[in-house]
Amino acid sequence: MTSPHLLWLLAGIGGLLILASVLGEILRSRLSPQGENPVIENLNARISAWWVMVILLAIAFLAGKPGVVVLLALASFAALREFLSLTHYNRADHWSLVACFFLVVPLQYYFILIDWYGMYSVFIPVYVFLLLPVVSALHGSTRDFLVRVSEKQWALMVCVYCVSHVPALLYLQIPGFEGRNIILIAYLIFVVQLSDVLQYVWGKLLGRTRVAPTLSPSKTWEGLIGGTLSATAIGTALYWMTPFTPLEAAGMCLLITLMGFFGGLVMSAIKRDRGIKDWGHLIAGHGGFIDRLDSVIFAAPIFFHITRYFWSAT
């Protein structure tokens, strides 16, 4: 499982984090020695959180397929908890909520672990979507029934189904790329998250025109264009560690960075609807798990299915 490409990528990310940490400390010593600058303090909190997340990902990557599946299953569980804590439910939903956490999540990731594509690709959007409302209906409460059911279905789609496509990348059989599928996960997360960072940077430098002022005032067209093109260029330069040609890598990177942006926009709309700033407070400086996963949520299934259709042997 551990390939030289993965080690080089992890080393590169580690180097970037070291550089960011040094710059963060320099900025703190010069501009916020007593913690009086909230921007600098938030930046350093985010860097510290990234250290934790990268270390966890590195451990999972080095542990192989089971480690990655377990880590993403735990992330889905935490994200589902954050999402469902903001939804409508009553006593009639007790057993359907139990099923979401302790039946649907384990089964979806078990199907991933045993590489049962025919099941994990339809388990949630077909079987769970049809049967879960039955559990609530049998308890007889009709108050906000459609809202309650729809929110649980959407939570499972976002937090479990979409996220589970990340470890599913490990099981693709790509000719000439055997034993290196872990690189696809690292590549997906790196490009999408890098796009988020670069969109923020370009937005701060040149941002004037907001994309959706009522949903996310910080997202601008200048930031979107600059961030996606910059991340696409970097992702294209790293094509040599993927099964893609430079042109294919450019197209794939552009697609997943755009999907990442749209995912963040949709999740921002849900947060605004619920009147919250962050999904949770589990990760210092980063909010909750969904705040970190929102870009990957929309990008992962698209990346998986396109790669499977055009590059995988099965």
What are the tens digits of pLDDT across the range 195-229?
988 888 888 788 888 888 877 777 889 999 999 99
Residue 108 binned pLDDT confidence (cut-offs 50, 70, 90): very high
- Compute the mean pLDDT over every residue in the chain, rounded to the nearest whole number: 87
Q: Using CA atoms, how far apart are residues 158 and 154, in angstroms rounded to an integer?
A: 6
Q: Closest Cα partner for 64 from 174, 193, 188, 167? A: 167
What's the pLDDT score for residue 44? Answer: 74
Q: Using CA atoms, how far apart are residues 99 and 107, in angstroms rounded to an integer?
A: 10
Does position 262 have pLDDT exceeding 50, yes or no?
yes
Q: Which of 25-34, 42-51, 100-109 has the lowest mean pLDDT?
A: 42-51
Q: Closest Cα partner for 51 from 8, 14, 12? A: 14
Q: Please compute the mean of the pLDDT values over residues 89-107 and round it to a whole number.
A: 92
Does position 52 have pLDDT exceeding 90, yes or no?
no
Does position 276 have pLDDT exceeding 80, yes or no?
no
Please report, for residues 31, 208, 275, the alpha-carbon distance to residue 214 in angstroms, rounded to integers and kept in the order given.
32, 15, 12
Does position 73 have pLDDT exceeding 90, yes or no?
yes
Q: Which of 12-16, 177-181, 233-237 has the highest mean pLDDT?
A: 233-237
Q: For the whole model, what pTM was predicted? A: 0.86
What's the pLDDT score for residue 70? Answer: 92
Residue 283: strand pairing partners: 287
More confident residue, 51 or 224: 224
Q: Using CA atoms, how far apart are residues 205 and 13, in angstroms rounded to an integer?
A: 24
Percent of the chain at pLDDT > 70 equals: 93
What's the pLDDT score for residue 282? Answer: 61
Q: Please compute the mean of the pLDDT values over residues 169-184 and round it to a whole number.
A: 91
What's the pLDDT score for residue 143? Answer: 87
Pull the structure tokens for residue 12: 């590169």
Residue 1 binned pLDDT confidence (cut-offs 50, 70, 90): very low
Q: Indicate the domain borders of the chain.
A: 1-63, 66-171, 178-314
Residue 46 binned pLDDT confidence (cut-offs 50, 70, 90): low
Does position 4 have pLDDT exceeding 80, yes or no?
no
Pull the structure tokens for residue 124: 């949630």
Q: Closest Cα partner for 185 from 77, 65, 266? A: 65
* 265-275 pLDDT tens trace: 898 888 888 87
Percent of the chain at pLDDT > 90 equals: 47
Q: Using CA atoms, how far apart are residues 248 and 255, in angstroms rounded to an integer?
A: 11
Does position 42 have pLDDT exceeding 70, yes or no?
no
Q: Is 20 exposed, middle or buried (0-12, 13-18, 19+ CB in 10 A)?
A: middle
What's the pLDDT score for residue 283? Answer: 57
Q: Which of 53-67, 76-90, 299-313 has the lowest mean pLDDT?
A: 53-67
More confident residue, 161 or 57: 161
Q: Which of 7-11, 23-27, 132-136 has the lowest mean pLDDT?
A: 7-11
Q: Using CA atoms, how far apart are residues 259 and 268, in angstroms rounded to an integer?
A: 14
Residue position matching structure tokens 């908890």? 81
Q: Closest Cα partner for 171 from 241, 254, 99, 115? A: 115
